[in-house]
Amino acid sequence: MSPTTSRPPRRSRPTASSDDSRPYDPRKDPKVIGIALIVFGTLAVAMAGFGSTPVVGGDGGGTVFPFQDVEDDPLEEVRISLEANRTTLRPGESVRFRATYENGSPATGASLSVDGTEHSMDDRGRATVTFDSGGSYTATASQPSTETVRYVADGTIVTVERYEVALAVSANATDVTAGDDVELTVRRADNDEEVSGTVTVGGESYSTDDRGRVVVGVPRADTFEVTASREPTATQRYRSDSVTVTAAHRRVRLAVARNNSELRPGDTIELTLFRTDTGNIVEGNMTVGDRSIRTVGGSATVTLDRAGRYDLEATRSDTRSETFVPVEETLAVRRHAAPVSLSANRTDVEPGEAVRFAAERTDTGAPLTGQLTVSNRTIWLDQRGQATVRFSEPGEVPVVARRANTSTHRFPADRLNVTVRDTSYRVRNVDSPDAVERNESASIAANVANVGSDVGTARVDYRFDGEIVAADSLVLGPGQSETVRFDVPTDAALGTYRQAIEVRDDSVEVDVEIRSSSGAGEDE
């Protein structure tokens, strides 16, 4: 808008009335006339030198009379003042602006610019502007300068506040498992109308459809503040709303497959870790006994050298969305079986007779360095796996060969029975001369009886002077007896000798004298 007056009032002019809109004429201003007379008189006195005080020159060589330069007057500066009846309003409302000069008179020559849009002002320096959209607007009143006057613009800021509408966001589920889909819906809180917008979940933004709905997959286990927002319009701004969605870890059970179900010491077993929900092989960590192994390609190989039960645990690190239930089971490694084989040189004996036993491993044929259990006795086998045992009591005697298990083998015992016959022998009716001539024939006889209940073979020894000089065997049934006879060694030196007839359970001793054939009783 172009100004309607030729020149505004000077800035130094006092205002008579804020409503005085007459053009300003400086030639009629008494203050301006007074200032002009003072300036003119001062210049005249300076030119004539009257009343002046000499000033010593800078070089000290004399006095210099003051001289005053006369320059052109600078541009006169006039400020414009812009007023608004309000600076905060709503869309669709208006603001009345009024521009005045410093003396309060209307700035009829000024124009109004609101964020680059020009608006005309009437002859009273006024303009009314309607604001349709929210925002912050800068309103400026300005006027082009002339050759003698420079106008200083004035401005103000008008804030158009949009109508605030609260949003409401809802979820079809707020306690879910990681990976689940959640449907989110955005509405206006004032009328429950579904509106399009943006929801933010875990730092990711998703646009809804026109009905305000969007389905979002919960990316991980966490507590999420789901926020709904909407871009403002020209007249409305939207207050965000949020809802909390808690996602728990998805529990996935692990399992271990193995290539060998019957484990023996020294066997190598391959263990493979997989998910039970999908069957996919996965990487993880395994602990077998006191050994920790990292899988490669989901598998781990381990050799178990000893029999026993090994705790197996397989784990996998949790992800952001899944937690894995560890595998906890037991691997049973059973010993190799090495049965014992027991043999004997005889299994039918009489009391007092000995049996030689031999034991060996059936898997290798090696001697068994273990022990024998004979009735209630324990007898150790030698390095050859052998032992000799004497039996004294009649009856059926069990004999067991065994060896303690090792870390790799077990030795199933072997047994056999030894029959100890019920035989008992007695020496009766010993018949021997009291004296014989040296080198003459003589004999000793005795009756040997079996007083036991089984058939047996009685060994009969003839002992002369402490030495066994003859022996015989008699097969006797229960209650049977038989006479045995031995020659007396009469070639012995002259003297009296002790004789004995001995069987297993009995013996009878008698003396015999070896005499000289002349009766002198001396050696020839």
Could you report the per-residue pLDDT of 344-395, keeping only the tens digit for each?
999 999 999 999 999 999 999 999 999 999 988 999 999 999 999 999 899 9
Residues 6 or more apart in contact with residue 475 via CB below 8 angstroms: 455, 456, 457, 458
Is it the case that residue 333 has pLDDT exceeding 50? yes
Cα–Cα distance, 120 to 97 (Å, whole number): 11
- What pLDDT score does 17 carry? 32
Is it the case that residue 462 has pLDDT exceeding 90? yes
- What mean pLDDT do residues 298-311 have? 94
Provide, rounded to the nearest whole percent, the portion of the chain with pLDDT above 90.
80
Cα–Cα distance, 254 to 322 (Å, whole number): 12
- What pLDDT score does 272 carry? 97
Cα–Cα distance, 56 to 258 (Å, whole number): 118
pLDDT-derived band at 45, boundaries 50, 70, 90: very low
- What pLDDT score does 60 carry? 41
State the number of CA atoms in the 13 A half-sphere of 221 facing the CB: 11
Distance, CA of 429 to chain centre: 96
State the number of CA atoms in the 13 A half-sphere of 148 facing the CB: 9
Could you report the per-residue pLDDT of 74-118, keeping only the tens digit for each?
789 999 999 999 999 999 999 999 999 999 999 988 999 999 999
- What mean pLDDT do residues 290-299 have? 95
- Are the C-beta atoms of residues 107 and 101 closer than 8 Å to each other? yes
Helix H or strand E segment including 81? strand 81-84
Residues 6 or more apart in contact with residue 60 via CB below 8 angstroms: none
- Are the C-beta atoms of residues 207 and 198 closer than 8 Å to each other? yes
Provide, rounded to the nearest whole percent, the portion of the chain with pLDDT above 70.
85
Q: In whole numbers, what is the pLDDT of the chain averaged over residues?
A: 86
* Closest residue by Cα to residue 242 from 172, 177, 184, 179: 184
Q: Provide the token pair at 383.
A: 């390095």
- Are the C-beta atoms of residues 84 and 96 closer than 8 Å to each other? yes
- What pLDDT score does 441 carry? 95
Per mean pLDDT, which range of 41-55, 87-101, 198-212, 414-428 is the poorest?
41-55
State the number of CA atoms in the 13 A half-sphere of 271 facing the CB: 29
- What pLDDT score does 75 carry? 86
Is it the case that residue 31 has pLDDT exceeding 90? no
pLDDT-derived band at 11, boundaries 50, 70, 90: very low
- What pLDDT score does 396 carry? 95
Query: Could you identify the residue written with the tokens 């969605």?
Result: 245
C-alpha angle 475/479/485, rounded to 5°? 50
- What pLDDT score does 74 carry? 76
Is it the case that residue 269 has pLDDT exceeding 80? yes
- What mean pLDDT do residues 418-443 have? 95
Is it the case that residue 164 has pLDDT exceeding 70? yes
Q: For the chain, state the CA radius of gyration.
A: 68
Q: 505 or 16: whose pLDDT is higher?
A: 505
Is it the case that residue 320 has pLDDT exceeding 80? yes
Is it the case that residue 71 has pLDDT exceeding 70? no
The alpha carbon dihedral of 462, 468, 472, 474 has a sign of: positive
The two counts, helices (H) then strands (E), for the chain are: 1, 47
- What pLDDT score does 40 carry? 45
Q: 74 or 192: whose pLDDT is higher?
A: 192
Q: Provide the token pair at 355.
A: 């049996």
Helix H or strand E segment including 47? helix 30-48
Cα–Cα distance, 405 to 336 (Å, whole number): 10
Cα dihedral 361→367→369→373 (10° resolution):
70
| pTM confidence score | 0.53
Q: Are strands 175-177 and 348-349 parallel, antiparallel or unpaired?
A: unpaired
- What pLDDT score does 519 carry? 52
- What pLDDT score does 347 carry? 95
Query: Could you identify the residue written with the tokens 């007459």?
Result: 22
Could you report the per-residue pLDDT of 193-246, keeping only the tens digit for each?
999 999 999 899 999 999 999 999 998 999 999 999 999 998 999 999 999 999
- What pLDDT score does 139 carry? 96
- What pLDDT score does 46 carry? 40
Cα–Cα distance, 257 to 293 (Å, whole number): 15
Burial of 380 (0-12, 13-18, 19+ CB in 10 A): exposed
Q: What is the largest CA-CA distance in the chain?
A: 212
Cα–Cα distance, 477 to 29 (Å, whole number): 178
